[in-house]
Amino acid sequence: MAAMAVALRGLGGRFRWRTQAVVGGVRGAARAAQLGRKVAVVDYVEPSPQGTRWGLGGTCVNVGCIPKKLMHQAALLGGLIQDAPNYGWEVAQPVPHDWRKMAEAVQNHVKSLNWGHRVQLQDRKVKYFNIKASFVDEHTVCGVAKGGKEILLSADHIIIATGGRPRYPTHIEGALEYGITSDDIFWLKESPGKTWHPTDVALECAGFLTGIGLDTTIMMRSIPLRGFDQQMSSMVIEHMASHGTRFLRGCAPSRVRRLPVGQLQVTWEDRTTGKEDTGTFDTVLWAIGRVPDTRSLNLEKAGVDTSPDTQKILVDSREATSVPHIYAVGDVVEGRPELTPTAIMAGRLLVQRLFGGSSDLMDYDNVPTTVFTPLEYGCVGLSEEEAVARHGQEHVEVYHAHYKPLEFTVAGRDASQCYVKMVCLREPPQLVLGLHFLGPNAGEVTQGFALGIKCGASYAQVMRTVGIHPTCSEEVVKLRISKRSGLDPTVTGC
């Protein structure tokens, strides 16, 4: 979110306010205010190149997790509609989807969340400024309000939580003019139609677009879901490919042009053959990574150091930047997982350290997460590659299973990619290092096991847990086949 939270003390500017505190993000701000501090949040959304803008709450609420999961849900419902006749529901197929109706419903929900955040700040007496702010010195930020009025805010503590924005491949002709990003897709009033995603990371959008019946093509330069377990990632792709998403691998786009009829013509180069190819699409969605929103902050005036490569802010384990009373949390920070709950917790813990007398540090290990691709992928802890890199092949045991969700049977769905694996140390008691789950409701399944891993669960302890029947998550506590054994990991019977 383009939010900078400051707690203010009076300075010479036209706006005077005094306080001892500051915080990052809406929730952190609210928390600091609860702890009796005078807090201000400064938030401003720079419109996307396509002109999309939104309200308070940051990426997650407006152009991230929330609208994404809702559109993912819309796509899942499309799958359920197809299942329904097998379960006796007399629905005439195919059922068409109306983008406008969905988008409006999703956007209305997001707007109600924006409103909720503002009310929450108000309730907690957090001052909210909708201005674009930058540093004047290490205790002062400055911004210009809508009417052109300059506002100076000063604070004892300043927390930078400005997040990141999608990256554009500006070197590609037409990319900026004709392409959209995740900043725009959730706010489109009309269906994006036939879409084309040059992407390394965001499979989720392509997943739900395919799911609501659009012709969707993904172009990948190299491997998908970098940083995630590669076996799981390739299964995610396999599943999407078998459900209608097209993949162009090893290709790099070179230009985008608008055709007279209004469609977009994309030209790309196939890296293996060296040949050029073109395709016509309604929408081009760039999802090639995100850049931190630090450039306009005048960080150098405050003396805050950033990474020269990524422009992300460098912090220590207490989230303090190179300037001790300036902190940074969330996606804007170098080396942190770019996840909402991580940012929320980091903000909360920081505030408790600053004003609540706590000394608890944020633990960035074993952060669970879920990718809401059509077949969801939940994970916590180490990938298989990472476990092997850290402990050596000889010391790692991987238990795995291909399972079939009960609901898939009657629906006649293919479960080839429903798969779970647990990465453990080989030596008894076989400490669990990582859990990877591909299947329906992966997020719900993974959350509890993340707790288990946090508790230092061993393979033996997980196996002693009685399953809940019939669920998908019980497959985790029934993992018996190790990869090393070479036995068939397909679950049979019940």
Site for other proteins in 197-216 (CB under 8 A): 212
We find the least distance from the C-beta atom of residue 406 to other proteins, in angstroms, to be 6
464-483 residues in contact with other proteins (CB under 8 A) are 464-474, 476-477
Which helix H or strand E contains 342, and what residues bound it? helix 340-355
We find the least distance from the C-beta atom of residue 400 to other proteins, in angstroms, to be 17
Question: DSSP string spanning 39-53?
Answer: EEEEE--PPPTT---
Q: Is 139 a catalytic residue?
A: no
- Coil, strand or helix at 435: strand
Report yes or no: 95 and 102 within 8 Å, Cβ to Cβ: no
- Coil, strand or helix at 282: coil
* Residue window 380-409: x/- pattern of binding to other proteins, with contact defined by CB under 8 A: --------------------------xx-x
Report yes or no: 216 and 197 within 8 Å, Cβ to Cβ: yes
Phi, then psi, of 175 in degrees rounded to 5: -60, -45
* Residue window 112-151: x/- pattern of binding to other proteins, with contact defined by CB under 8 A: xx-xxx-xx-------------------------------
| Contacting range for other proteins; rule: CB under 8 A; set: 37-45, 218-226, 383-391, 440-448 | 440-448
Q: How many CB atoms lie within 10 A of CB 386?
A: 16
Q: Smaller CB distance to other proteins: residue 364 or 484?
A: 364
Q: Which of 342, 373, 383, 417 binds other proteins (CB under 8 A)?
A: 342
Question: End-to-end distance of the chain based on CA atoms, in angstroms?
Answer: 46
Q: How many CB atoms lie within 10 A of CB 47?
A: 11
- Between CA 242 and CA 236 the distance in angstroms is 10
- Coil, strand or helix at 30: helix
39-98 residues in contact with other proteins (CB under 8 A) are 57, 60-61, 65-66, 69-70, 73-74, 77-78, 80-81, 83-92, 95-98
Q: Smaller CB distance to other proteins: residue 389 or 410?
A: 410
Q: Smaller CB distance to other proteins: residue 136 or 476?
A: 476
Report yes or no: 416 and 229 within 8 Å, Cβ to Cβ: no
* Residue window 26-45: x/- pattern of binding to other proteins, with contact defined by CB under 8 A: --------------------
The one catalytic residue in 97, 157, 436, 469 is 469
* Residue window 311-340: x/- pattern of binding to other proteins, with contact defined by CB under 8 A: ----------------------------xx
- What is the residue whose two structure tokens read 């003396």? 303
User: Catalytic site residues?
Assistant: 469
